[in-house]
Amino acid sequence: CFDISPVSYLNELDNSAVLIKHESLHNWAEAKDNPTKHATSLATTFALSWKRLVDEEKDALPKRIFRACGYCAPNISIPKKLLDELADVSDKSLYRALGRLSELGLIEPTDTGPRLHPLMAEFAQLLDRDAKDKILPDLANAMIKLTTRALESGLPRPMSILSEHLTAVALAAGKDELQTTGGLWNNLASYQQILADYKGAKKLFERALKIDEQVYGKDHPRVAIDVNNLGNVLQALGE
């Protein structure tokens, strides 16, 4: 039992950099208080399912998909078209991979795509950070391609089902300092512009511009595009 109030405990969880490593979720029971003697670390419990993906050929795709899903927004269904863009496999192979993850309890299937609990998403990210073939760069590229096509429609709906996942991937890409980070924020800004949220779009375009200037230099064509996008929003704001 922790000598802490529920409110204080929730605040601790909110401020934890890696929630799954919080002491209350890591070996929370003393041996003398654990009659079954099983591991009481949540990450270790998740790993029991993960370690059942042992077939190098059949389980390679489920492993990549699970690690990718970890970077998407938790508790929100991940559109199949994003996984299609990422995996570039047949529908049959993709559904088989999702079925494998579902039977192991690693994802929750829904009618609109799989979703992950926040703690499971953190576990997936930890796995990817330790992997030799990290999935985040491929996911970021797939997200840019998919959201660019959605933006070209000029309609908000194609982007609405992707926007929260786009935000989550952009944040993760920023932490890893990926070259594509500015492009992710730029596409999110363009979505805000479609919604006529010009102040929100301005803030995101400025963020994309700052990142791309650092990555490419101020004279790069990518930066010129960012400046043009920001200029259009400033004009809409009367600035």
Q: Hey, which residues does 108 pair with through a beta bridge?
A: 115
Mean pLDDT for the stretch of residues 211-239: 95
- pLDDT tens figures, 175-210: 999 999 999 999 999 999 999 999 999 999 999 999
Residue 201 structure tokens: 């779009």
Q: Taking Cα atoms as reference points, which of 104, 14, 17 lies closest to residue 65?
A: 104
> Can you tell me the distance from the alpha carbon of 236 to that of 144, in angstroms, rounded to the nearest whole number?
25
- Collapse the DSSP code of 63 into the 3-class scheme (helix H, G, I; strand E, B; otherwise coil) and give the result: helix
Residue 66 structure tokens: 């699970």
| Alpha helices in 25-176, H assignment, sequence order | 42-50, 60-69, 80-87, 91-103, 118-129, 136-152, 157-160, 163-175
Q: Taking Cα atoms as reference points, which of 116, 31, 126, 119 lies closest to residue 78?
A: 116
- pLDDT tens figures, 59-74: 999 999 999 999 999 9
pLDDT of residue 231 exceeding 70, the answer is yes
Mean pLDDT for the stretch of residues 2-22: 63
Do residues 3 and 10 make contact, with C-beta atoms less than 8 angstroms apart? Answer: no
pLDDT, mean over the chain: 89
**Confidence (pLDDT) at 40:** 59
- pLDDT tens figures, 71-101: 999 999 999 999 999 999 999 999 999 999 9
